[in-house]
Amino acid sequence: MLATDYLGLDLKNPLIIAAGPWNRDGKALKESIAAGAGAVVTESIVSDTLLDVRPRIACDERGAQNIRLYSDIQIEGWEREIEIAKSEGGVVIASIFAHTPSELAYMASKLEKFGADAIELSVSNPMAESLEILASHADTIFDMTQAVVQAVRIPVIVKLTQNTTNISKVAKAAKAAGASGVSAINTVRGILGIDLETAKPTLSTYGGISGDYIRPLGLASVATILQTVDVPVSGIGGISRGNHALEYIMLGASTVQVGTAVMLSGKEIIPVILGEMTDWLKEHGFRNIGQIRGQALKNMKSFDEMRFEPAVSTVTGVACKENCSRCINGCMYGAISRRSGTVNVDRQKCMGCGLCTSICPAGKLSLGL
Amino acid sequence: MNIKQIAKAAGVSVATVSRVLNHPETVAPATREKIQKIIEEEEYTPNWFAQGLNFNRTKTTGVIVPHMMTPMYMELVSGIEEVARPKGYITFLCNVERDPKMEKEYVEQLMTRKVDGIILMSSALEEKYITMIQKEKIPVVLIGESIAANRFNSVNVDCRASAVEMVAHLVEVGHRTIALLKGHDPHHETEEMSLGYQNVLRANGIPVDRKWIMDVENTIEGGYIGMKRMLAAGAPDAIFCTSDEIAYGAMEALKDSGMSIPEDVAVAGFGNNRMSNLIEPKLTTVELPYRKMGIYGARILFDLIEGETDSRDPRHILLQSRLRIRRSCGHQERIGEMF
């Protein structure tokens, strides 16, 4: 039901475990595969394996911030790690990070020899690299991708960032240079919060934000890329439940990647997400995941296509007598009020913005003609 | 225990043990694990000399170092050893004291000793000489720019582009009279930096004035003397030095002349030595990835020694430098220091 063809790789499902320390060596990758992942991406492999700063990860209930998460194993060591990872089967994608085309090409060719099934260029990390993230420039991405594509025979995937003015342009450059696919999005530069008592940020410098915070950004990026470039996309950003994964796939993503959820909940979450995906598809009468892929992308409209109807809000069903004023407080047009204990909408004042329909915890309000 | 005893203990032939050591992928996993377990338990290390006889290898490489007292070269060497050591290789370090004649002598010595490969750093050797080494079936990798770098396996940083970035930053901070303290060596790299310096000045409508370009020895002393000589004719707004050592000397000379850095004269270096982050004011400079240059130099060399390369064309790896903005250049924005 979940089987997916991704860049010519037969995946048993579209759930890929993203690059990160939860995939830091062969053993960890093998665990991700054993938990049911369709494929796994190594922690980003670099040539300057510096000591990592401490602390470097923080989280709250909506997501996480990390400062620098690169592999501490040199390329030479990955020969053995990939062998361990694949010892009982599984698809392993090697994530690499460097600053120049020739270096990336060298790393990619080595990892191909070591048995990697694909390469993911992770040149979009927002952490401590420079104010301008490498992957925000289409021409840089073109040069890097081209060098790597020429160096290997396996598929090359470029991981893109939201920290750019035009992600479509960067995706086009990746495709023009020969990339087989793109992943979107990497973490987004941010500061998780400030401790008011000590006047200190949660972590001592800027970092990459992940988790629920960035899911809307990931969804928009995936949609934008798929509306403009004919390239397979792996959707990333804030996936911790089956429905999140299905949202990305409904927008057209070929596969999805989960990272922060694995970090915060452990690898047990992998079969949970897969189970939720399968259950939803079954309940809705689908036989395979391909049937829903891209269905929501068709429903993305331009302003020109939107119909301007005189829709207004109404209370549906029995009159609302809840002791709650969220719709009243939330109505910027003063159209909602309480009269003799029930909630009423003034059809003359209502401008049809729709906020009350999503603010009402009981789902009592809806827009209609 | 020797290899025969290991073979006996495992109940296999000596050839099988040898294959586990040299080509483990050719041995069945169960047999391989059994033999590896005995090797680990007995803490057996192969006799490299004997192995060298078998494979026509000596498990040694030679590294030509231009100047042992320059800290950056030691970082490079540590990068080389990071790759060489796990492969069971010993590295000969040859300090040639920036003397091309000595460089040739050492290369000949290394060839006599049958090293498996040679790494030349910022080499002064001519193309035909390097070709001659390769004809002897000894792989060569050049680290750092040299006249011949394009035609051989090489690891480089674009020194001109790095200098352009540095000088452009000085202009952006607001400096107009920007001097150049230009080291004598490494010759080719310094010339590239000098061209980058001149390009930025011209692009910003600043005349290139010989008065502000001083040739100095690439040492702390050289920087000190050069700065003193330049100050006799007046003080520029800023000085770009082609090495951090020259910058340390220049800073000392400025302080001795009662000037403050960066208020009176701003200083920028090239290289980002460990000390540049410790002196006061902390030195703005170009960080070169020395360790990584060493790592890649060794990677390419071992690919050649082990016959891992498919291509007959020379391999070039270009690595990226990076500006390290600190206090000495007089910038005000904190964000520049952070990224």
Q: Across the beta sheet with B154-157, what order do the strands follow?
A: B90-95, B60-65, B117-121, B140-143, B154-157, B316-319
pLDDT at site A308: 79
| Confidence at A96, pLDDT banded by 50, 70, 90 | very high
* pLDDT band (50, 70, 90) for residue A228: very high
Q: How confident is the model at residue B313 (pLDDT cuts 50, 70, 90)?
A: confident
CB contact under 8 A, A103 and B338: no
| Cis peptide bond N-terminal to B262, omega within 30 | yes
pLDDT band at B49 (very low <50, low <70, confident <90, very high): low
Lowest mean pLDDT among A213-227, A261-275, B42-56, B260-274: B42-56
Among residues B161, B235, B176, B180, the alpha carbon closest in space to that of B207 is found at: B176
From A13, A10, A18, select the one nearest A2 (Cα to Cα). A13
Distances (CA, A) of A270 to A36, A227, A228, A292: 7, 29, 31, 21
Residue A55: name the closest of A65, A41, A63 by CA.
A65
Statement: the pTM of the whole predicted model exceeds 0.80:
yes
Q: Which residue from B292, B315, B318 is facing A47, i.e. has the nearest CB?
A: B292
* Average pLDDT estimate for A302-320: 86
ipTM value for the complex: 0.85
Alpha-carbon span A226 to A253, nearest angstrom: 8
- Which member of A100, A113, A206 has the closest CB to residue B318? A100
State which of A9-23, A125-139, B92-106 shows the largest mean pLDDT: A9-23
The one-letter amino acid at A32: S
- Least confident range from A101-110, A288-297, B20-29: namely B20-29
- Interface contacts A/B by beta carbons within 8 Å: 40
Q: Mean per-residue pLDDT for A329-356?
A: 93
Say which amino acid occupies B112.
T
Q: Does position B325 have pLDDT exceeding 80, yes or no? A: yes
pLDDT value at B50 more than 70:
no
- Give A75's contacts (C-beta < 8 A, 6+ positions apart): A45, A47, A107, A110, A111, B299
Residue where the block lists tokens 């352009």:
B164
From CA A296, how far away is CA A325, in angstroms rounded?
Answer: 33
Helix residue ranges, H only, B119-241:
127-135, 159-173, 187-203, 220-231
Helix or strand run (H / E) with residue B239: strand B238-241
Candidates A106, A107, A127, partner chain B, best to mutate (most B CBs within 10 A):
A106
**Structural domains for chain A:** 4-299 (3.20.20.70), 307-368 (3.30.70.20)
Distance CA A202, CA B71 (A): 37
Task: For B319, name the nearest residue in chain A, comparing CA atoms only.
Answer: A100
Average pLDDT over residues B242-246: 96
Measured from the Cβ of residue A264, the count of other Cβ atoms closer than 10 Å reads 17
Closest-CA distance, A150 to chain B, in angstroms, reads 13
Q: Flag if A131 and B339 touch (Cβ within 8 Å).
A: yes
pLDDT-based confidence at B46, cuts 50/70/90? low
Question: Is the Cβ pair A131, B296 closer than 8 Å?
Answer: no
pLDDT > 60? residue B54: no
Q: Which residues of A touch B (CB under 8 A)?
A: 47-48, 74-76, 99-103, 106, 113, 128-131, 205-206
Band (pLDDT 50/70/90 cuts) for residue B334 is confident
Judged by phi (left if over 0) then psi (alpha if -120 to 50, else beta), residue B205 lies in left
Shortest distance, CA A59 to any CA of chain B (angstroms): 22
Return the H-helix or E-strand segment holding A28: helix A26-34
- Quote the CA–CA distance of B183 and B222 in Å, as a whole number: 8
Residues 6+ apart with CB under 8 A from A282: A1
